[in-house]
Copies of this chain bind each other. A is one copy, B any other.
Amino acid sequence: MFRRLLSFSEAQEAIQKNLKAKPFGTEQIPLLEACGRVIAEDVASTIAIPPFNRSTVDGYAVKAKDTFAVAENSPVALSLCGTVNVGEMPKITVAEGQTAEIATGAPIPEGADAVVMVEHTERKEAKIFVYSAVARNENVMKAGADIKKGETVLRTGAVLGSREIGALAALGLAKVKVYKAPRVAVLSTGAEVAEPGKQLPAGKIFDINAYSLSAAVRENGGAPVFLGVFPDEKNLLEQALRKALASSDAVVTSGGVSVGPKDIMPKILGSMDNSKVFVCGVAIKPGKPVTVALVDGKPVFSLPGHPTSALLTFYLLAAPVIRSMAGRKADKPLEIRACVSTRLFSAKGRRTFVMVRLKREKSGRLVAEPVEAGLSGAITTLAKADGFVEVAENRQFVEADEEVTVRLFKGGLAF
């Protein structure tokens, strides 16, 4: 079995090369349900928007040149030839010396080429007095001014938010083609792991990873399929893995990877038919025992059992794959510069990830403070952290007060 510890960069490259993760299917869904999904096609408009020259104000449609003679206290009088309402094509034509009442959003009638705002007019029976000259096209939004017919409005890979969904609605689309969310099976291993919701049996701990990893799958555009907790027993685990592979597009397991007598997941992955293990241990801390394989053409991530290690290795190595499968483009991570509050040590020869909390000092300086170093089994380490700092493999430590890049866990932080 493959056993050399890869460096973090080598692991990333091996994952990219062996998995070539990409979206694997699309579906048509109603536009109203598309918020947060990823569009799976370039969308070009089949219509011009607006579809006709429209008035941008309430007022009177005129021939602009009929208003050029307007001077201060000397309005021009035009005769009212009709009204144009919104939502209908005008049947009238505005001839020289004439004007038509028009509402915001209504099509400009034949013959007119500008609109005078109602505030600059006075109506006396069938005469409209215009007190302000307008230029051609003034207060007119030309057909196609917003979107031209044939113009590409959205490109494959865009995440659909309120603004993008508005643009698709403008084109008259009631449905949109999006990438299918990859189904990601999540299973926990370990004889000590008990399901939450019941009394905790003696000697056991509650299952954390299945819950945190399922949520992490969702955060990255996948659909988690929670399969349960399995003991560290080869046949049962292999069965569970086969079932997971049959029913989903990727598998994430946690536990059963340490170097002790229960080091079972890498062995199973190494011995299964149609399996290729290409990452088996990475020189990182925490998270060294992470194993990645391709089984039946599907990615399997075997993550450590420690909650912080499991979630961190998920963020670092599994999340980019699931994001690609969901059709999301690689997001540049949200980062911020801060000074470390204390010296941060690295694990010899391993890229070390130190969870930190950010604090703004009275002086205005932003400080990154490590969260309880040394408790890699702790779940609260991650819950209390705002992000992490990387210490490179070839550095012994980061000096106190040194400025570093903090990779943030989420946006919108109050700094």
Contact = CB atoms under 8 A, between A and B. Distances in A.
Contacts of A173: 196-197
A140 to B, nearest CB: 11
A383 interface: yes
Interface string A78-100: 00000001111110000000000
A212 interface: yes
A25 interface: no
A190 B85 CA distance: 11
Contact of A211 (B165, B196, B413): B165
Copies in the complex: 2
A192 B212 CA distance: 48
A382 B32 CA distance: 18
A118 B56 contact: no
A146 to B, nearest CB: 4
A209 B332 contact: no
A212 B163 contact: yes
A396 to B, nearest CB: 22
A333 B412 contact: yes
B86 A206 contact: no
Interface stretch (A102-110, A277-285, A295-303): A102-110
Interface in A304-359: 305, 307, 311, 314, 331-334
Interface residues of A, number: 106
**A172, A198, A211 — which one has the most chain B CB atoms within 10 A of its CB?**
A211
B203 A89 contact: yes
A191 interface: yes
Interface stretch (A14-22, A43-51, A66-74, A128-136): A43-51
A370 to B, nearest CB: 16
Interface stretch (A3-11, A236-244, A268-276, A372-380): A372-380
Contacts of A52: 203
Contact of A383 (B89, B104, B164, B198): B164
A392 interface: no
A154 to B, nearest CB: 8
Contacts of A212: 162-163, 165-166, 169
A383 B50 contact: no
A168 interface: yes
A30 B409 CA distance: 24
Contact of A103 (B103, B214, B262, B311): B262
Given A171-B206, A333-B412, A56 B162 contact: no
Given A169-B206, A409-B163, A86 B196 contact: no
A294 interface: no
Given A104-B260, A196-B173, A215 B162 contact: yes
A170 interface: yes
B215 A196 contact: no
A209 B104 contact: no
Contacts of A86: 190-192, 203, 262
A405 to B, nearest CB: 14
A35 interface: yes
B202 A103 contact: no
Q: What are the 5 tightest A-B residue pairs by CB atom distance, in nearest-first order?
A: A411-B411, A58-B260, A174-B197, A166-B212, A87-B191
14 contacts: A32-B226, A35-B214, A50-B205, A89-B202, A118-B259, A141-B377, A162-B215, A163-B385, A166-B212, A167-B208, A169-B207, A169-B210, A170-B307, A173-B197
